[in-house]
Amino acid sequence: MLQSSSRDTVSPRLAEEPESIQAVICDLNGILRGKRLPLERTEKVLSGNVRMPLSIVGVDIWGEDIATGQNIYSIGDRDGICNVTGRGPIPINWTSRPSTLVPLWMFHEDGTPFLADPRQALAAVVREYEKLGLKPVVATELEFYLVDPESDSALPPISPYTMKRLDSDAILSIDELNDFGDFFSDIYTECERQGVPADAAVAENGIGQFEINLLHRDDALAAADDAIFLKRIVKGVARRHNLAATFMSKPYGTRSGSGMHVHFSLVDKEGRNVFDDGSDQGSPVMRNAVAGLLRSMAEMTLVFAPHYNSYRRLRPRTHAPVSVAWGYENRTAAIRIPGGSPAARRIEHRVAGADANPYLVLAAILGGALLGIRGEWTPPDPVSGDAYSNLTLSRIPAEWGQAVDAFARGTSTDQIFDRQLIEMMVACKRQEIAGFTEQVTDYEFAAYLEIV
């Protein structure tokens, strides 16, 4: 029987003996890619003897190689060394045949980190905080929709209790949580098995939309791992309940989008929250961090909104931010400083969609904050009231192509991410843009067929 080798949690024993092992890495789109091996090859995986092409982290959303990927091809599309992350093996029990998953991350042949690997990119940012004697404390909140698995487009699910299709928003509805109670019970069971610290679940603002909060971690890599594994758990358990779960930013054009809100603070070597100076306003270090987040926000938008569908969410009055702004207890701003005890002073970053890669999101947020802290930057005045109506504020890029260009030429981009990651990300997204541009939708065809 396999046992967990995680440094920070030990998964309970598998309900059944696994039949295979999945060796996986996370690509730039947040998709796990890798190999299935017989169980007797476990030692090969755990001892770092699995190799995969370095280019695998940069394939597009359809799993296609990047036609213009000269950065990789120029070195012969060589393999990287895939070592265990220290999190796993992880039991997978929602499939017809139980298996176990081992998360890996990529290194060059000489043992140095391959910094285009999203997890390595986050680790590099965390190392910079270690130089300052600081440790990020991070938690994420992930929203998702349950939809009918039989439909080719977004269609609300049928309630397992009433046997009727959901037809209205039900924000914070306890009844809706109860209707899907077996689904959520299985999610919590799987989270416990995988060492994912799931906290509160709530019904959100859209039809069949829910949110699961994760408890904070003083390990940013573990927090990003948690988000990746939670998404897989939700989707896997949904299938077992004859449902489909989607983390698309905007599955319905007229309903609320799904976000991934990130809460973080910083503690020093004595465990003190450096954002807390005893005041309601927070410390100068916190405001430096806010300034860094605001200055880097436009250039990091591609990380927070990486897909074509992502930009349907970033619209005014949709519970998603559109302005480069911050405020105290203000959910219309991109950066919110929650109220409460000064000892719990933290920053909430509200830009990322649920479709974004958690490793890159945390790297972009923590990296942007670090720029502000090191530069001792001062933020503009916080916004009070409706940030949507404030026309003096700079805007978050509202178009996918604009975000790609801002990321490609941004000064903060080069300070947060390795140049190879930047080039792979930009090439990937430009190939995806070309793919969508070539498609004519049914709606478009119907609109123009005989009119023009």
Domain ranges of the chain: 20-114, 127-417
Element (H, E) at 30: none
Class of domain 127-417 as given by CATH: alpha beta
197 upstream amide cis, omega within 30 of 0? no
Query: Stretch 409-437: mean pLDDT, rounded?
Result: 96
Binned at pLDDT 50, 70 and 90, residue 98 comes out as confident
Return the pLDDT at 273: 98
Tell me whether strands 135-147 and 244-246 are parallel, antiparallel or unpaired: antiparallel
Contacts of 348 (CB under 8 A, 6+ apart): 261, 262, 263, 335, 336, 337, 338
Q: Between these two residues, 169 and 316, which has the higher pLDDT value?
A: 316
Average pLDDT over residues 394-412: 97
pLDDT of 221 higher than 80 = yes
From the number of C-beta atoms within 10 Å of its C-beta (0-12, 13-18, 19+), residue 140 rates as buried
- Distance of alpha carbon 268 from the chain centroid: 26
CATH number of 20-114: 3.10.20.70
Average pLDDT over residues 248-264: 94
Residue 2 has pLDDT above 80, yes or no: no
Q: How far is Cα 387 from Cα 50, in angstroms, rounded to an integer?
A: 50
User: Considering the chain, what is the average pLDDT of its residues?
Assistant: 91
What is the full DSSP assignment across 367-384?
HHHHHHHHHT----PPP-
* Domains 20-114 and 127-417 in one fold: no
Give mean pLDDT, residues 213-227: 97
The arithmetic mean of pLDDT across residues 233-249, rounded, is: 95
CA distance 414 to 420: 10
CA distance 332 to 384: 9
Mean pLDDT of 295-312: 98
Strand runs (DSSP E) across 108-243, as ranges? 135-147, 198-203, 209-214
Which whole number is the average pLDDT over 310-317? 92
What are the pLDDT digits (tens) for 39-88? 888 888 888 889 999 999 999 999 999 987 665 666 668 999 999 999 87
375-390 pLDDT, tens digit per residue, is: 999 999 999 989 998 8
CA distance linking residue 353 with residue 309, whole number of Å: 10
pLDDT tens sequence across 149-191:
988 888 888 888 888 888 766 665 677 788 888 999 999 999 9
**Backbone dihedral angles phi then psi of residue 123, each to the nearest 5 degrees:** -60, -35
